[in-house]
């Protein structure tokens, strides 16, 4: 079985690097890249073709929801897991 290729996207460097460090220790998971903005995520997704993207919602430049729409338009088979610290549903929907 080949490794699940993961792209980690979050504007908080410490969180992003910590999540990457944890995922790197998981068998059958390969972190193929990291991005700190929505625009970087789109470019990385295009270049790296990850199986799954862990995408923060609230980011500067282009938020995770808008970035996800663009990624899925170009690569609809990409799995997306949204990350957020927001607790209020009104902020999410």
| Boundaries of every domain in the chain | 4-85
Residues 44, 68: Cα–Cα separation, whole Å: 12
The CA-based angle 72-79-16, given to 5 degrees, is 100
Domain 4-85 matching CATH 3.40.50.2300: the answer reads yes
The whole model's pTM is what?
Answer: 0.91
1 pLDDT band (50/70/90 cuts)?
Answer: confident
Contacts of 72 (CB under 8 A, 6+ apart): 78, 80
Q: Is 23 a residue whose pLDDT tops 70?
A: yes
Tokens of 83: 């990350």
pLDDT of residue 92: 53
Average pLDDT over residues 51-65: 94
């Amino acid at each position: 079985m080949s490794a699940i290729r993961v792209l980690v996207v979050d504007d908080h460097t410490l969180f992003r690097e910590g999540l990457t460090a944890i995922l790197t220790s998981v068998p059958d998971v390969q972190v193929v890249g990291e991005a700190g903005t929505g625009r970087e995520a789109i470019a990385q997704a295009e270049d790296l073709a990850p199986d799954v993207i862990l995408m923060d919602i609230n980011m500067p430049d282009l938020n995770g929801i808008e970035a996800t729409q663009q990624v899925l338009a170009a690569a609809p088979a990409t799995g997306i897991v949204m990350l957020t610290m927001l607790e209020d549903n009104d902020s999410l929907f």
